[in-house]
Structure 1
């Protein structure tokens, strides 16, 4: 569900209320049930029949917009449990909501973001953050680094590795045998 003080729980509840995602797959929310209850009440969203896998955490009362250690810990425990579920076969995939990098650092978790944490947990040496839509797949050369360091990260070798990962994924995951790839953007998210 992301950072319990962030926008993740709200976005998640609105997606669940819409109902379209549930037509595509079975959705299981990983996180703290009291957080979803809080936002459901605050936003007056009548979302029912939400399957929740709770994390082990103390009772937490959200403070929207506040960066805090406990919120960061809950966010990372949720991501950790979702990764466990994927690794042991209880889940086929995971979708992550936004986390606060500052909050997870305050909680003692020293990863710049989801991508690096998941790569560490899966012992993946070569990995890439991808954004996917119906007609566009975007793979990033640089990850969660300050904008003033992106130039240092975008090397010939880094571009080559990103392209290799992207081509392999386009073949394996999307069935594209002769993909056409454009290389562009210096911004880490090429859209932020």
Structure 2
């Protein structure tokens, strides 16, 4: 069986992302891991961590599981040298470029998935690049109109109705239309991608105690519950709010 090919972006070069990727390389994986990163920065971090790291240039179309202590690399240079723990907006464009190249390679079918390290959104925006998060960036790059962030672990999947907006805007962002879109996507993908034949989706309330019958907010009464009733009529198994 051909191993999976995973593109990895370490994220903010001054942050913990590169360290985590180097830690990954110390283990054996039944997949080919390809990092999109600055080679010098990765080698310097490995030396600081006192961990072995062999970086093998990635060849398009090549599939081979790396050895312990090895990673394949698609080299992308930082604009300025990296000092761990010291943010520098001069490298904001570098972070976005790693995401762009990894995303494009995935869209073109060269990879099975993209794994992203943590970024600093403030530093990217200080570099003059409008950036609100990985979810929105990948949606834009792939021309995807409707996207849902799903946090998945064994036995539990958590989806978000809104992402990366100020708290004061959340209430107005939760509309019947938005709930319909999010829940339809979740319901479909739980069946197609997670092999859950009859998904049971629990929907949280927005307000404390789901509004207490309107005494602590009316979003549950006026928006969330009516939307769920409409979706239940379509045969979707829902509980809440």
Shorter chain as denominator, the TM-score bin is: 0.7 to 0.9
Paired with 1:139 and 1:174, the residues of 2 have a C-alpha distance of: 14
* 2:71 aligned residue: 50
Give structure 2 stretches of 5+ with no counterpart. 1-9, 54-68, 208-241
Higher percent of residues as helix = 1
Compared CA separation, residues 7 and 152, structure 1 to 2 (3 A): farther
* 2:150 aligned residue: 130
Paired with 2:206 and 2:78, the residues of 1 have a C-alpha distance of: 39
Query: Is 1:139 the equivalent of 2:155?
Result: no
The root-mean-square deviation of aligned C-alpha atoms, in Å, is 1.8
Query: Is 1:39 the equivalent of 2:17?
Result: no
Contact 2:78 2:91 in 1 (8 A): no
Compared CA separation, residues 7 and 160, structure 1 to 2 (3 A): same
Offset of 1:167 from its aligned partner? 0.9
Larger RCO of the pair (alpha carbons < 8 Å, separation 6+):
1
Across the two proteins, how many residue pairs are aligned to each other? Answer: 183
- Deviates most, 63-72 or 91-100: 63-72
Secondary structure at the aligned position of 1:50 is classed as strand
Offset of 1:107 from its aligned partner? 2.1
Higher percent of residues as strand = 2
Q: Larger C-alpha radius of gyration, 1 or 2?
A: 2
TM-score normalised by structure 2 residue count: 0.70
Q: Deviations over 1:98-142 (max 9, x none)?
A: 111011112222120111010001111111111111211111111
Q: Deviations over 1:8-62 (max 9, x none)?
A: 111111122233xx22x1111111111211211111122332111112544x422
TM-score normalised by structure 1 residue count: 0.87
| Shift >6 Å, 4+ stretches | none
